[in-house]
Amino acid sequence: MERRGFLRWFTLLFGALCGGSGLVSLLGRRPQDGGWQVVAKPEEFEGQPALRVRLAVRAGWETAERPIYLVRDGEGIKALDARCTHLGCTVRFKEGEFRCPCHRGVFDAAGQPVSGPVSVPLPTLETRVQDGAIEVRA
Ligand code: FES
């Protein structure tokens, strides 16, 4: 094989290997969307009206954690996003209701707006109990 031909093939092969490994690396680092995450064991939630837990969510190419609350929903469990629907501050559960520290918005224990500048309920996240764990879909 001539030197020029060898260099051409070598360059093509090298480029394909670099491009392929870069693509695999990018795809491998990408967090999964819509997956179920274990957030607590049922016994951790026993006897409490609300339990604050963390949920990993995708933000662009990175994964960030954000607080959510598990609350009672009849015989079941419901997960509420802890971000206030007014301007996004994190609400806190106190004395049977969710209170927003930023503008004094108040939601009831089911996440419904009660007073203050809030008019939209706290978003509900899909929840299930599977294999002895409480799971929430991110
Ligand atoms: Fe919660 Fe304004 S951000 S009341």
pLDDT tens digits for 31-49? 455 689 999 999 999 999 9
CA distance 61 to 105: 32
* pLDDT reported for residue 16: 62
- Show pLDDT as tens, one digit a residue, over the chain (138 residues): 677 776 677 666 655 655 555 444 444 434 455 689 999 999 999 999 999 999 998 878 888 999 999 999 988 999 999 999 999 999 999 999 999 999 999 999 999 999 999 999 999 999 999 999 999 998
Q: What pTM does this model have?
A: 0.75
Enumerate residues lining ligand 1, CB below 6 A.
84, 86-87, 89, 100, 102-103, 105, 116-118
Distance (angstroms) between ligand 1 centre and the Cα of 80 equals: 16
What are the C-alpha distances in Å from 106 to residues 5, 11, 12, 110? 74, 64, 63, 11
